[in-house]
């Protein structure tokens, strides 16, 4: 007989939902995941992190081969087969997807395919082609993810345009790709298609690319993009879009007035918004701000037994947050149900923020942002070191960019770091650990680093900061 009551109902079986379900089941809590998608797997695996990084790897290899003369390696007849690039990506994605689907169907918890809609604060209705079915719950976790934002631009609906999911499936290499949106996804796609051989124009509303990162990092990404021939149009707003023969023409406004750019393909990457429409949140007493579900530090909504995790509630929608939130909410529910001892404390604090963009070079930041620091009374010191002066980076031929450490002046405690350069996203994790361990630059400077490695670049700003703090200068 079909069950109609669970201790925990999870709406959405992506990264966040799966993490929560798996932990809840570990604690012996009766759990069901409801997922509406035709294809199970979630955004990260199917249309987000993993396919984009697989394509970017092909683009990075192409770029490396284009620059191989410097290493004394001469390659002729270099060409890209988009079919083979896509086939490699798809083999990888099929493997990741199979693993996740097996996990979702392992029987550790129940899985129901269908759209969940709240019909009360303790009940959801699952709507599918076969039936509509009511499920009662003690706790619910909303993990419905996000959807692409499609901006209102005159004529957009009359032309063929790509969203990121379409760009990730492209089996033709655009001759000239125009990207509207210079955030993380827009910039990653720009570097990906430029690397593979397309001409790229990127249009950004604000004055800098990847504005979630520091201004110095944005400057580097803009300079590198332009050096590679990517046309960067910052402080522009698209007015209209039209077809002209086999081209797409974007009319845009900037401080210089109204201009046009025409290309073979158009990618709209203007961000994503929480997927909350049609969820019946009002009947569950769950409040939103705009489309985003309002949550506290513990991911509790205005109905305290209903939680929201992942993109649906996060201002910085990234996978590790969705996963950690899922696991933490599960722990919290287990404590409330008496399955676990202890008091709940979230580890997701602003000090632990982590963000990266897989451009070439990569860029990343960890810890508090400049604006968060400026809201406090903390006095800071910072030091920067350029990859151009770093032996290992020179050996790799990857000398663009820098790392920067920010610490509290009084104690030397490391508060934040920025990196733009080779392997910046891997490199930032060392500082993430230091931040998490509340380490000072003096303590960090004593940790041996193997030579010659990219990682040892952190020792230079750390030594410079500990020297100046110890000498009181
Ligand atoms: C191109 C791209 C690249 C990215 N790259 C990175 C990266 O490099 N690193 C990183 O950290 N993040 C990256 N992200 C973001 C990352 O993919 C997301 O933050 C993450 O996947 C969100 O997970 P989630 O569990 O919140 O939602 P999802 O994985 O989207 O899962 C939501 C699930 O809920 C289901 N659902 C929705 N509504 C209902 C309903 N009413 N009933 C039942 N089911 C429902 C959906 O079908 C879906 O399966 C990228 C995103 C994109 C688009």
Instruction: Specify which residues 405 forms β-bridges with.
Output: 383, 417
User: pTM of the entire structure?
Assistant: 0.96
Give the whole-angstrom CA distance, residue 132 versus residue 74.
63
Distance from the CA of 79 to the center of ligand 1, in angstroms?
A: 33
For ligand 1, pick from 17, 41, 44 the residue to mutate: most ligand atoms within 8 Å of CB: 44
Structure tokens at 411: 């104690």
Q: What is the DSSP letter of 358?
A: -
pLDDT (tens digit, 0 to 9) for every residue of the chain, 473 residues total?
789 999 999 999 999 999 999 999 999 999 999 999 999 999 999 999 999 999 999 999 999 999 999 999 999 999 999 999 999 999 999 999 999 999 999 999 999 999 999 999 999 999 998 889 999 999 999 999 999 999 999 999 999 999 999 999 999 999 999 999 999 999 999 999 999 999 999 999 998 998 878 789 999 999 999 999 999 999 999 999 999 999 999 999 999 999 999 999 999 999 999 999 999 999 999 999 999 999 998 999 999 999 999 999 988 899 999 999 999 999 999 999 999 988 776 666 656 789 999 999 999 999 998 888 888 999 999 999 999 999 999 999 999 999 999 999 999 999 999 999 999 999 999 999 999 999 999 999 999 999 999 999 999 999 999 998 888 76
Alpha helix stretches (DSSP H) within 205-361:
215-227, 281-284, 319-336
For ligand 1, pick from 128, 145, 286, 365 the residue to mutate: most ligand atoms within 8 Å of CB: 145
Instruction: For 88, list phi and psi in degrees, rounded to 5.
Output: -65, -50
Return the axis-axis angle of helices 15-26 and 319-336, rounded to nearest 10°.
30
Distance from the CA of 15 to the center of ligand 1, in angstroms?
A: 7
pLDDT at 347: 63
Q: b/e map of 216-239 (b: 16 or more CB within 10 Å)?
A: ebbebbbebbeeeebbbbbebebe
Ligand 1 touching residue 143 (CB < 6 A): yes
Looking from the CA of residue 164, the nearest atom of ligand 1 is 1
Ligand 1 touching residue 43 (CB < 6 A): yes
Ligand 1 touching residue 311 (CB < 6 A): yes
Looking from the CA of residue 279, the nearest atom of ligand 1 is 41
CA nearest ligand 1 atom 3, residue: 48
Distance from the CA of 246 to the center of ligand 1, in angstroms?
A: 33
Strand pairing class (237-244; 402-408): unpaired
Give the whole-angstrom CA distance, residue 328 versus residue 352.
15
Q: Say if residues 357 and 364 touch (Cβ distance below 8 Å).
A: yes
């Amino acid at each position: 007989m079909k069950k109609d009551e669970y201790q925990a109902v999870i709406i959405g079986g992506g990264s966040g939902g799966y993490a929560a379900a798996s932990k809840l089941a570990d604690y012996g809590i009766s759990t069901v995941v409801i997922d509406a998608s035709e294809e199970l797997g979630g955004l990260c695996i199917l249309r987000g992190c993993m396919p984009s990084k697989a394509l970017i790897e092909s683009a990075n290899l192409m770029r490396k081969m284009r620059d191989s003369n410097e290493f004394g390696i001469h390659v002729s007849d270099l060409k890209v087969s988009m079919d083979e690039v896509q086939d490699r990506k798809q083999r990888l994605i099929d493997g990741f997807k199979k693993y996740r689907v097996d996990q979702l169907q392992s029987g550790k918890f129940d899985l129901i395919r269908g759209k969940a809609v709240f019909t009360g604060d303790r009940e959801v209705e699952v709507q599918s082609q076969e039936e509509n079915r009511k499920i009662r719950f003690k706790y619910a976790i909303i993990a419905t993810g996000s959807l692409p934002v499609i901006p209102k631009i005159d004529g957009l609906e009359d032309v063929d345009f790509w969203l990121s999911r379409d760009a990730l499936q492209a089996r033709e290499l655009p001759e000239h790709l125009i990207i509207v949106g210079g955030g993380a996804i827009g910039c990653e796609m720009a570097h990906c298609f430029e690397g593979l051989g397309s001409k790229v124009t990127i249009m950004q509303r604000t004055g800098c690319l990847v504005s979630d990162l520091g201004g110095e990092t944005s400057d580097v990404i803009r300079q590198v993009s332009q050096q590679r021939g990517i046309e960067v149009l910052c402080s522009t707003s698209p007015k209209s879009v039209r077809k002209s023969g086999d081209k797409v023409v974007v009319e845009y406004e900037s401080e210089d007035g109204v201009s046009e750019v025409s290309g073979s393909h158009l990618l709209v990457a203007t961000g994503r918004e929480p997927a909350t429409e049609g969820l019946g949140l009002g009947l569950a007493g769950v409040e939103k701000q705009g489309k985003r579900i309002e949550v506290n530090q513990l991911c509790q909504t205005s109905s305290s037994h209903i939680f929201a995790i992942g993109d649906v509630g996060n201002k910085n929608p990234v996978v590790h947050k969705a996963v950690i939130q899922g696991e933490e909410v599960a722990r919290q529910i287990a404590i409330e149900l008496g399955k676990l001892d202890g008091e709940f404390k979230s580890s997701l604090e602003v000090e632990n923020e982590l963000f990266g963009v897989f451009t070439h070079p990569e860029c990343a930041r960890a810890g508090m942002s400049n604006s968060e620091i400026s809201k406090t009374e903390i006095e800071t010191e910072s030091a920067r070191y350029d990859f151009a002066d770093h032996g290992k980076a020179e050996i790799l031929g990857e000398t663009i960019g820098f790392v920067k450490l920010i610490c509290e002046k009084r104690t030397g405690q490391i508060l934040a770091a920025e990196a733009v350069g080779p392997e910046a996203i891997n490199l930032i994790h060392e500082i993430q650990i230091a931040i998490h361990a509340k380490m000072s630059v003096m303590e960090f400077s004593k940790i041996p680093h193997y030579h010659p490695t990219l990682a040892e670049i952190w020792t230079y700003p750390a030594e410079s900061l500990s020297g100046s703090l110890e000498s009181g200068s």
